[in-house]
A and B are shown apart, each in its own frame.
Chain A
Amino acid sequence: MVETSAALEPADRAREADAPHSLVVRFGADKPLKLDAGVDLSPFQIAYQTYGTLNPERSNAVLVCHALTGDQHVASIHPVTQKPGWWETMVGAGRPIDTERYFIICANVIGGCMGSSGPASINPKTGKPWGLDFPVITVRDMVRAQAMLLDHLGIGTLFAVAGGSLGGMQVLQWAVSYPQRVFAALPIAAATRHSAQNIAFHEVGRQAVMADPDWRQGRYFAEGTNPRRGLAVARMGAHITYLSDAALHRKFGRRFQDRDNPTFSFDADFQVESYLRHQGITFVERFDANSYLYLTRAMDYFDIGADFDGVLANAFKDTPTRFCVISFTSDWLFPTSDSRAIVHALNAGRARVSFAEIATDKGHDAFLLDEPELFAIVRGFLEGAAKARGFEVTHR
């Protein structure tokens, strides 16, 4: 993990953090973001992308919530990596979340590093990057900020909110915080609380970042360093949790990388090692180490039931929102049992809920991959919801 990449320096990311290649809305001192930590974030900004057209009734808006390391570039070229959007299989013309029917919004989460206020952004009080002075944020804060974005866009009710993993947590929080503003909710590979095991994995990742001497107590921008190795190790560890034993075996087995025999050294002899190192290196190019700390922390703090005295069903009592909960058989990070707990609570709250478990060996990441059954279910659920909402349903 000592290889370095010539591609992008912290300065490139820093620019993206303040002046993103996307739409951005700035909220002034009159509109502070009230954080769960008990402080106001003000001024602050939200970077977002939109796709499709808002109808005259303003009733066809779909909010897509991104996962831990995602961003607002759902279905457009990523300005830093130049790669296609992270959910182009799901969002686009003729896709299940159809840009020809819906107005799709995706905002970078608060605490992120792609243009919404976060630790890599400039602290207006000091003129320097926030670093660890940025307040700790929660999933509820992310959703609160998104609601302010929707107010700004003049959108009262969302036709749907959809997302996987941390995105799915935001979907659930939306339904709890603003039930009247969410017609349909699609939490995918999500949970109503982060498990002890998942907090443990996150802690390992954060410790890897903070153990890197280049982290400099979070002040690496000022000191001209970048905790590349720490963040790459964090990503490597996390990446394993997004896959499955079966998927790793199918893709790599015990095969050697560009060699026929072991080198009797600590080079990346195995394909799986080489793959993980690549994942680590490419991640560091596009992501801010402090953002990684903040966003993993937000996930750790997530526990909807705790906000309702431990009775999860009360969170969804008589909710008007219709839900489609989806899990994957090989996802051991957010296993089906987590989704089933959501469904039980929704049933107890008399919600209208669909729940499908999709058979795949691709693990947690399956929600981002080519899973025809996932697409069919999302499409069918949205079409049913559109019919109930009174949209014209077009059959292809």
Chain B
Amino acid sequence: MIEALSFQMPLGLPGLTSGTEFTLEPRVPGSAYAWLRCRRDPQLTLLTIEASRVRPDYPVEHVRRSLGFLHLEPDEALHVMLLCTVPAAPEPATVNLVAPIGLGMQCLKAAQIVLHDPALEERLPLPG
């Protein structure tokens, strides 16, 4: 379950900002969805969803290996979020499984990476 927290993304968010301070806030308590906001630019808000709620077998350990430069502790809990694209209806709302954001829950540092896995969709439709 997501809790409201502040964390760093040392590499920023590609294409959007080089800001490194972010917050994650559940859409409502207990929700799989959470708002990702850049503290330097509060207008920069994105909807994210917990990867495990989209796909229970999401390759979390692959994400962990790709985040070596964050120097996570071996037993550090890792939170994996996926960015949602939610345009006005009737365009489909989708989620990007290819480029997750991995967040170390102990160091509170995160980064967006790209997974090279043909089983992961870049635009998986979301219900609703």
Q: Do A and B bind each other?
A: no
